[in-house]
């Protein structure tokens, strides 16, 4: 990477404390990633925005706050810049509103206020990138495969079956079912409808996802084949396939820290291999590690052919120092 080019990151950890959806390792995941970004990948701490729902956090990872942070990052991007978004928290699937896909489900992440950020929102961010900048998303959440709408699958659904076995860990899936999200939103809006978009617009207005705010024809125009780029610089490393769950791990013995299985696997791979690794290598090694640890999730990679073999985070620093 050329001297003077920026490395920018937004790190989001949602533990949903004192709620029925509580997780334990998500904030630990992004704190560990922040340390790795600064020590291993040359990120300046002032260029890393951290959003968590820890009790002491002043700015919480609501849908609006996460999107504002991502917008700020993309808005200041220039050719050659490296952008990174690490999300650790719950994911979900929602009925697709996209024209031509009446039976599909779309992927979304679940901020602490349930203002969903969908695959359409992440596609819109990638589309805004200046040519020559890269945007890597690492999503440690359930149903995270395909979180950038229309991004090309490089490493995807696997037919590999893994038999569960007992571990000295307590595992919680990072998933909130659609029905639970709908029930929660209905309790807030008091509107009797199963249309999640109605609830999202009622609660969040202009801060709701593009998926719920744009008319179907505008969605088709914005994200349809006629407007899709032959290649783009969006890179998604997902913790699992679109139909799978990602694990949040809480050690039951020894007093160890809780963590997300995928976040931990990626960080382990990077610590054990100090040379440059491609995006493909990072995902394949994380898959192998999770398989050895008997997890029933399969990390995936979505990006262009060129970016599949590009260096993870385009690192160009002396790793021996």
Determine how many CB atoms are found less than 10 A away from the CB of residue 190.
8
Q: Within 13 Å, how many C-alpha atoms sit on residue 299's CB side?
A: 29
Rg (CA), the chain: 19
Residue 142 among the catalytic residues: yes
Strand partners, 82: 7, 134
Would you call 253 exposed, middle or buried from its count of C-beta atoms within 10 A (0-12, 13-18, 19+)? exposed
Residue 171 among the catalytic residues: no
Residues 257, 136 contacting (CB under 8 angstroms)? no
Token pair, residue 309, equals 């073999």
Query: Any idea what the Cα angle at residue 271 is, between residues 269 and 274, rounded to 5°?
Result: 100
Helix, strand or coil, per DSSP, at residue 247? strand
Please state the φ and ψ torsions of residue 302, each to the nearest 5 degrees.
-125, 120
Which entry of 26, 142, 240, 300 is annotated as an active-site residue? 142
Give CA–CA dist 26/130, Å, rounded. 31
Token pair, residue 60, equals 């919480």
Taking the C-alpha atoms of 197, 111, 246 and 41 in order, what is their torsion angle to the nearest 10 degrees? 130
Give CA–CA dist 69/125, Å, rounded. 11
Which entry of 24, 86, 90, 298 is annotated as an active-site residue? 90
Query: Of 303, 311, 298, which Cα lies nearest the Cα of 240?
Result: 298
Residues 217, 224 contacting (CB under 8 angstroms)? no
Residues 97, 212 contacting (CB under 8 angstroms)? yes
First to last CA, the chain: 18
Give CA–CA dist 125/119, Å, rounded. 10
Annotated catalytic sites, by residue? 90, 142
């Amino acid at each position: 990477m050329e001297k003077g080019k920026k490395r920018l990151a937004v790190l989001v950890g949602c533990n949903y404390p004192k709620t029925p959806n509580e997780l334990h390792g998500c904030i630990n995941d992004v704190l560990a990633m922040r340390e790795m970004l600064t020590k291993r990948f040359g990120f300046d701490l002032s260029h890393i925005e951290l959003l968590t729902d820890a009790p002491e956090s002043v700015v919480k990872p609501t849908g609006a706050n996460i999107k504002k942070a991502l917008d700020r990052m993309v808005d200041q991007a220039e050719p050659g810049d490296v952008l990174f978004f690490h999300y650790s928290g719950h994911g979900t699937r929602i009925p697709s509103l996209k024209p031509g896909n009446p039976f599909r489900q779309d992927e979304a992440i679940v901020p602490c206020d349930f203002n969903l950020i969908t695959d359409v929102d992440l596609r819109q961010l990638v589309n805004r990138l200046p040519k020559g900048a890269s945007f890597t998303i690492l999503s440690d959440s359930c149903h995270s495969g395909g979180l950038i709408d229309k991004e090309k699958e490089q490493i995807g659904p696997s037919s590999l079956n893994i038999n569960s076995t007992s571990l000295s860990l307590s595992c919680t899936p990072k998933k909130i079912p659609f029905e639970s999200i709908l029930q929660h939103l209905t309790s807030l809006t008091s509107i009797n409808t199963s249309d999640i978009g109605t609830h999202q617009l009622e609660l969040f207005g202009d801060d709701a996802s593009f998926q719920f705010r744009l008319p179907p024809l505008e969605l088709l125009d914005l994200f349809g084949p006629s407007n899709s780029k032959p290649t783009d610089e969006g890179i998604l490393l997902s913790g699992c396939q679109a139909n799978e769950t990602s694990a949040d791990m809480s050690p039951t013995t020894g007093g160890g820290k809780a963590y997300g299985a995928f976040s931990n696997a990626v960080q382990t791979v990077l610590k054990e291999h100090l040379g440059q690794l491609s995006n493909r290598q990072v995902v394949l090694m994380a898959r192998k590690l999770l398989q050895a640890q008997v997890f029933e999730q399969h990390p995936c990679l979505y990006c262009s052919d060129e970016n599949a073999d590009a260096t993870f985070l385009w690192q160009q620093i002396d790793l021996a120092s």
